[in-house]
């Protein structure tokens, strides 16, 4: 390893698994505490050095990150004093080849620890500076943009946490995690990362001339690792549960939830743009706050929370927007809705209004809203954050909650009970099919709805036919 322009020789490089809200939302997991993995010091490289992808591999992925460079020995550091131990922060790229991830059994040693796989920029930025916005470009196109307050665990938290059990030495590097937008790059692609207005870290992906020699694990593309590399590894609802939820009404599901003591799960006042479409998926949340004009340039422009939410949504997820039941402005238009659909989203729910609302009648994505409004972003609210608990149409919605929509509206099901609720709802509708048939034949509802002993016996015979 040649000398780094910053003059650092880390004894260790520590990387955080999940630390940006947008990435956590993309993954469908929000950790209560940070978790880490180690990268060898030999993985350190600098701007201008190539990122070598072994011949025969295909899942090379970038992750733009902020690197904390430790300035003096840190042990049992208090969170409030942690920045005193920081030499500065710099742009970094937590590069990896996910074809080898399966063999690492969670360590990321070979997939992310190869020589040169941790390029760190040559410019240090004061961690107390106002602008620590992280940006990443691939071939000149901006693909990541995130503000430092999107971190789940700030610099001080990470240093205090790690230094409880690990002595951090001068020159050690902590990689603070990546926001949404990290994905696969190929030989010839150029990745640039910057913190604020500092000089960009620039590295080119290059394919090695030879395949990895034996012995050792061979590169392998697994479904899981491919999803992680591309940034769309969203937890899925069981296929049988999804099929059951698509076959029953929200009214039936409401009855099942009420039996379990859950009476506030129907999102009130929302109507579907396409009543013919059914919706089942996991909540991916976006929160708006009231407009404050002096904050709009900072929070409303560029790759704001609204755009980050769309770029972070994955297959099987539903974009759920908390607009505080504000009907005096739009919350999403047809372009971003189409982008969400192309990302694999299976629905959009907002307690605000749709802009370009006539277009939603032809989009192949179920959309529920409180109405229509032609105003552009910034009239009543500003996009603030994603991947947080929100209130939508009077219901508390958490990332990963299950939402079901039909022609009547949208209902939420806690994921811990979704399998049993779905199964019981199917059985309930089968019983109601029997009851409807008897009513159609002229039977009284007395003792039939709900079923008494006589009709339960008759139902058992009918159900066994």
Where, residue-wise, is CATH 3.90.850.10 in the chain?
A: 13-230
Using alpha carbons, select from 291, 306, 296 the residue that is nearest to residue 383: 306
Residue 226: CB atoms within 10 A of its CB come to 17
pLDDT at 178: 96
Lowest mean pLDDT of 107-116, 348-357, 377-386, name the range.
Answer: 377-386
Mutual angle of helices 305-312 and 334-342, in 10-degree steps: 30
Q: Selecting from 1.10.760.10, 3.90.850.10, 3.50.50.60, 3.60.15.10, what CATH number does the domain 13-230 have? A: 3.90.850.10
Can you tell me the mean pLDDT for 292-321?
Answer: 87
Can you tell me the mean pLDDT for 205-229?
Answer: 88
Dump pLDDT digits (tens) for 248-274. Answer: 999 999 999 999 999 999 999 999 999
Where, residue-wise, is CATH 3.50.30.40 in the chain?
A: 264-413
Dump pLDDT digits (tens) for 314-323. Answer: 889 999 999 9
Q: Which two tokens stand for residue 42?
A: 């030999």
Q: How far is CA 152 from the centre of its chain?
A: 13
Using alpha carbons, select from 223, 267, 462 the residue that is nearest to residue 369: 267
Does 377 have pLDDT greater than 80?
Answer: no
Q: What is the per-residue burial (b if ≥16 Cβ within 10 Å, else e) of 271-300?
A: ebbbeebbbbbbbbbbbbbebeeeebeebb
Q: What is residue 280's three-state secondary structure?
A: strand
Q: Which two tokens stand for residue 172?
A: 């050690």
Q: Is 80 exposed, middle or buried (0-12, 13-18, 19+ CB in 10 A)?
A: exposed
Dump pLDDT digits (tens) for 82-101. Answer: 999 999 999 999 999 999 88
Can you tell me the mean pLDDT for 421-447?
Answer: 94
Q: Cα(98)–Cα(31) distance, rounded to whole angstroms?
A: 22
Dump pLDDT digits (tens) for 48-87. Answer: 999 999 999 999 999 999 999 999 999 999 999 999 999 9
Q: Mean pLDDT of all residues in the chain?
A: 92
CATH topology of domain 264-413: Glucose Oxidase; domain 1 (3.50.30)
Q: Which two tokens stand for residue 393?
A: 């149409």
Does 1 have pLDDT greater than 60?
Answer: no
Residue indicated by tokens 């991947």 = 387
**Residue 465: which pLDDT band, with cuts at 50, 70 and 90?**
low
């Amino acid at each position: 390893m040649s000398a780094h322009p910053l003059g650092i020789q880390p004894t260790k490089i520590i990387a955080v698994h999940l630390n940006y809200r947008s990435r956590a939302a993309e993954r469908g997991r929000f950790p209560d505490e940070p978790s880490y993995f180690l990268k060898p010091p030999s993985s350190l490289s600098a701007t201008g050095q190539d990122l070598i992808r072994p011949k025969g591999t295909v899942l090379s992925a970038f992750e733009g990150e902020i690197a904390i460079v430790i300035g003096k020995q840190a042990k049992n550091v208090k969170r409030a004093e942690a920045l005193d131990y920081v030499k500065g922060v710099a742009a970094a790229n937590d590069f990896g080849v996910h074809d080898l991830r399966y063999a690492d059994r969670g360590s990321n040693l070979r997939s992310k620890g190869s020589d040169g796989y941790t390029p760190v920029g040559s410019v240090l930025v004061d961690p107390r500076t106002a602008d620590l916005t992280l940006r990443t470009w691939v071939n000149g196109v901006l693909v990541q943009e995130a503000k430092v307050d999107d971190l789940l665990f700030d610099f001080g938290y990470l240093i205090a946490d790690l230094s409880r059990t690990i002595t951090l030495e001068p020159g050690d590097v902590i990689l603070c995690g990546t926001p949404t937008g990290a994905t696969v790059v190929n030989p010839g692609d150029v990745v640039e990362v910057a913190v604020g207005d500092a000089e960009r870290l620039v590295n080119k992906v290059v394919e090695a001339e030879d395949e990895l020699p034996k012995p050792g694990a061979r590169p392998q593309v697994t479904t899981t690792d491919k999803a992680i590399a591309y940034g769309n590894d969203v937890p899925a609802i069981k296929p049988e549960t999804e099929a059951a939820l698509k076959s029953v009404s929200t009214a039936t599901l409401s009855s099942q939830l009420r039996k379990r003591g859950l009476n506030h799960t129907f999102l009130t006042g929302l109507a579907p743009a396409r009543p013919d479409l059914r919706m089942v998926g996991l909540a991916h949340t976006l929160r708006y706050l009231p407009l404050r004009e002096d904050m709009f340039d900072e929070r409303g422009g560029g790759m704001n929370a609204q755009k980050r939410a769309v770029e972070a949504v994955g297959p099987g997820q539903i974009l759920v927007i908390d607009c505080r039941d504000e009907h005096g402005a739009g919350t999403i238009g047809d372009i971003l809705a189409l982008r969400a659909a192309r990302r694999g989203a299976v629905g959009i729910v907002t307690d605000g209004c749709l802009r370009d609302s006539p277009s939603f009648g032809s989009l192949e994505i179920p959309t529920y809203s409180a109405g229509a409004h032609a105003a552009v972003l910034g009239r009543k609210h500003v996009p603030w954050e994603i991947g947080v608990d929100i209130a939508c149409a009077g219901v508390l919605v958490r990332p990963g909650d299950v939402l079901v929509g039909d022609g009547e509206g949208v209902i939420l099901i806690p994921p811990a009970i979704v399998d049993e609720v779905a199964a019981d709802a199917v059985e309930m509708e089968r019983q109601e099919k029997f009851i409807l048939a008897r009513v159609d034949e002229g039977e009284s509802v007395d003792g039939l709805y709900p079923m008494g002993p006589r009709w339960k016996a008759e139902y058992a015979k009918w159900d066994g036919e």
